[in-house]
Amino acid sequence: MPGTPPTFADRWADTAAALPGTTFLVWEAPDGSVTRWTYGAFDDLVARVAGGLRERGVVRGSRVGVALPNCPAYVALWLALARLGAAMVCSDPSARAPEFAEQLRRTGARLGFCGPEQYTEYRRGASAAGATAYEVPLTDVELSTLTGEQRVRESETVADDVLGLMFTSGTTAAPKCVMVTQANYVFAGEVMAAASALRTTDRQLVVLPLFHANAQYYSFAPAITRGASVALMPRFSASGLLAQAARHRATHLSLFAAPIRMVLARGATPVSGLCVTHCWYAQNVTDEQYERFAALIGCRPRQLYGMTETVPAVLTNGAVGPQPRSMGVPTLGCRVTVRDPGSGRTAGTGEEGEVFVGGEPGRTLFAGYLDDPVTTAASFPFGDGWFATGDRARVDARGRFFFAGRRGDVLKVSGENVSLVEVEAVLADHPGVLEAAVVGEPDPVRDEVPVAYVVAVPDCAPDALDDLAAWCARRLAKSKRPVRFERVPELPRTSVGKIRKFRLTEGGRP
């Protein structure tokens, strides 16, 4: 029908048909062996995997669990499910049986796939949820455990069909299940390909986990949109990242701040043969860390901002003169503003407020939270199509957005508002601090007080952090100074590097 939006299955099929001989996927296995597929060869694999799924009873509307580490099977399952009009339930492969059971139960998945290392836990979780677990050998590049006798080459889906069911990372609360449609993936690919000036001759290096939105939205979807290639690594390696980028002639990277700090902490030195021209990163690094990493990779990294719910990165720094501490400006094709969360009034220049993203659910924004209309409605508090992110920011006179913390990242200390992000930035500038997280602690006199958890730079002197109190006293008002500094070997994180602050407040440790 004229005007019908394309599906992600359509986008894949069109690219595979137009560029059958162009390299699509380069897979470096854990043992160092490398396998390559062209778009045409991988499309044939997708057709056979779709046939295998159909033989297992997968039809349009089915939900299928995927708890695999990075591997070609993950990519093939994703594209095969897109072709069948089914949805993948994206699970962190490091989860435990109760988590797997809850996710499979909540989504109604009747079958799921995992790797050998996850099989025992995943099978227990699947059994509890009434689902069947299948083990996928990661050394099998033919994907013989997934393929069927028949090939499914025709798409059986529409743009509004749900393709991804992704659980939010749960850094501050219980995870919600985000519904991502076929149209959402198309939009992500178009926006991110344009924002990064991606070309057919470019190559994305993917080291972040595939179950997370970053790798799907910012790397694979734009590569498929432009007919570019992807070099897929089994996992992130701080010591191996630069060599991997050089070895596979990668031009585009996408990272978080934490992996960048890990690379720098390993004392990385320049690697010959790098041809990186573009690097996205999320979350702040210090100016010194930024300059060191930029010198290592040979280009100026560009900070961005996005969520699973916003689909593409709705804020991005420009290619010319990126501002290291800014999340950027609204990405072409995206609508972003800062509002007072109570009244909905647009914040003035320099005034802090909540980040709101405008769009159409199921097309340019997520389709909603699975089976949770109340939470979905609450995330659009003014009923005008603007999604409340829960993140705070301010906008300067040039329209650049600066992160000011999550909704819960502001303490009331003796009636004074204290931004935890500001305190963390001051701590991060200390020469002995690799990274820091600040949380609130109840206080009988001042209501709340900040407490800092700090990770020292590698091989620093034992007393390198002894002057933190004096450091903060010279830079912060009294209400903002941490009352205690806890030195920890590392901060508790999600699998993609986000700090799980609630683990600190609950007394958890890495």
pLDDT at 46 over 80: yes
- pLDDT given for residue 172 in this prediction: 47
Residue type, 117: E
pLDDT at 283 over 90: no
pLDDT at 149 over 90: yes
Among all chains, which residue has been given the structure tokens 């969520």? 307
CA 304 to CA 330: how far, in whole Å? 10
- pLDDT given for residue 173 in this prediction: 52
Strand 329-330 to 315-316 pairing: antiparallel
The model's pLDDT over 55-110, given as tens digits with 9 standing for 90+, comes to 999 999 999 999 999 999 999 999 999 999 999 999 989 888 988 999 999 999 99
Do 253 and 278 contact (CB within 8 A), yes or no? Answer: yes
**Residue ranges covered by each domain of the chain:** 8-235, 326-407, 408-505
Strand 447-456 to 484-487 pairing: parallel
Calculate the CA dihedral of residues 156, 162, 164, 167 and round it to 10 degrees.
-160
The model's pLDDT over 173-191, given as tens digits with 9 standing for 90+, comes to 567 999 999 999 999 999 9
Do 236 and 259 contact (CB within 8 A), yes or no? Answer: yes
The SS3 call for residue 181 is strand
The two structure tokens encoding residue 463: 């007393």
pLDDT at 414 over 60: yes
pLDDT at 491 over 80: yes
pTM: 0.85
The model's pLDDT over 209-266, given as tens digits with 9 standing for 90+, comes to 999 999 999 999 999 999 999 999 999 999 999 999 999 999 999 999 888 988 998 8
DSSP secondary structure string, 446-487?
A: TEEEEEEEEEEPTT--TTTTTTHHHHHHTTS-GGGS-SEEEE
pLDDT at 437 over 80: yes
Q: Which CATH architecture has domain 8-235?
A: 3-Layer(aba) Sandwich (3.40)
The two structure tokens encoding residue 350: 């320099």
Do 66 and 74 contact (CB within 8 A), yes or no? Answer: yes
Do 88 and 77 contact (CB within 8 A), yes or no? Answer: yes
* C-alpha torsion sign, points 59, 63, 65, 71: positive
**Banded pLDDT at 478 (limits 50, 70, 90):** confident
Q: What average pLDDT does this structure show over 31-44?
A: 98
pLDDT at 324 over 70: yes
Among all chains, which residue has been given the structure tokens 């991060």? 428
Do 257 and 48 contact (CB within 8 A), yes or no? Answer: no
Do 204 and 225 contact (CB within 8 A), yes or no? Answer: no
Assign domain 326-407 to its CATH superfamily.
Luciferase; Domain 3 (2.30.38.10)
**Banded pLDDT at 508 (limits 50, 70, 90):** very low
Which residue, 226, 235, 336, 234, is CA-closest to 278?
226
What's the DSSP call for residue 229?
E
Specify the CATH class of 408-505 in words.
alpha beta
* C-alpha torsion sign, points 289, 295, 298, 300: positive
